[in-house]
Amino acid sequence: MEPLLKIEHVEKYYGNKGNITKAIDDIDFEVQNGEFIAIMGPSGSGKTTLLNCISTIDTVSAGHILLGGADITEIEDRESARFRRENLGFIFQDFNLLDTLTIRENIAMTLTINKTPPKEIDRRVEQMAEKLDILSIMNQFPYQVSGGQKQRCACARALIHHPKLILADEPTGALDSHSSQMLLTTMQTMNQELEATILVVTHDAFTASHAKRILFLKDGHIFTEILRGGQSRKQLFGKILDVMTLLGGDLSDVR
């Protein structure tokens, strides 16, 4: 089966001659359609830089990134915004909901920008809201709803245009344990029931233990990976902690 995402010998450098930092060092891996994959590593390991390159927010210094067979490293700057809008969904740490728009309008925003017909927008927004259990708050504003409802709204917005890949950078970083669990349960629903392919960057072992596969970065390259397989989340959590210890990770990042 052709992978959804292919990272081929990607390198990323910053700086000039005599003062060059190698943020990503020959990273190579694939993501299959329907996977839920986490990328972990200590600060400075390159995980956020890698995510930025996949999202076309940043560019690679060498190598190729292919999404659905298209080489995104060859996309011109003026096309990158449209590419992100049509192919990627994002879950932000602080949700990035607009308080001047209703929950319905926040969810519909990408479809509206993409000039989807109004009737189609209404149908898809209603379906997504029903699946994520937020139909009752559609006409309210973000400041009028709970944190958990905001999370589900953000997830609905990320999914509404059927993106090839959903990217999340430290999605639980600003949340308490209860809110983190609610968000991760929603993301698992997105993956298992709505067949979304999710790639999450995190420093948190609890968050990573909800994924099906975890890649660990160190000094810009892949250190090792763990597959969930038939393991329980508790078993996977323990193995993540073992690798974090080897990497010198901060176990205060455990929830």
Spatial neighbors of 71 by CB under 8 A, at least 6 apart, are 64, 65
Domain membership flag for residue 187: yes
Mean pLDDT lowest among 97-106, 118-127, 162-171, 178-187:
178-187
Domain membership flag for residue 240: yes
Domain membership flag for residue 165: yes
Domain membership flag for residue 185: yes
Domain membership flag for residue 36: yes
Prediction pTM value: 0.91
pLDDT at 151: 87
Domain membership flag for residue 117: no
Name residue 169's amino acid.
D
Domain membership flag for residue 104: no
**Per-residue model confidence as pLDDT tens digits over 147-182:** 888 888 999 999 999 999 999 998 888 788 888 888
From residue 92, alpha-carbon distances to 33, 95, 103, 212 in Å are 22, 5, 16, 21
Domain count, the chain: 1
Domain membership flag for residue 180: yes
pLDDT at 255: 47
Find out whether 153 and 103 touch, Cβ atoms under 8 Å.
yes
**Per-residue model confidence as pLDDT tens digits over 34-76:** 999 999 998 889 999 999 999 999 999 999 999 999 999 999 8
SS (H, E, C) 202-216: CCCHHHHCCCCEEEE
Beta strand pairing call for 221-227 and 213-218: antiparallel
Average pLDDT over residues 126-145: 94
| CATH assignment at residue 228 | 3.40.50.300
Judge whether residue 253 has pLDDT over 70.
Answer: no
Host domain of residue 242? 5-98+158-253
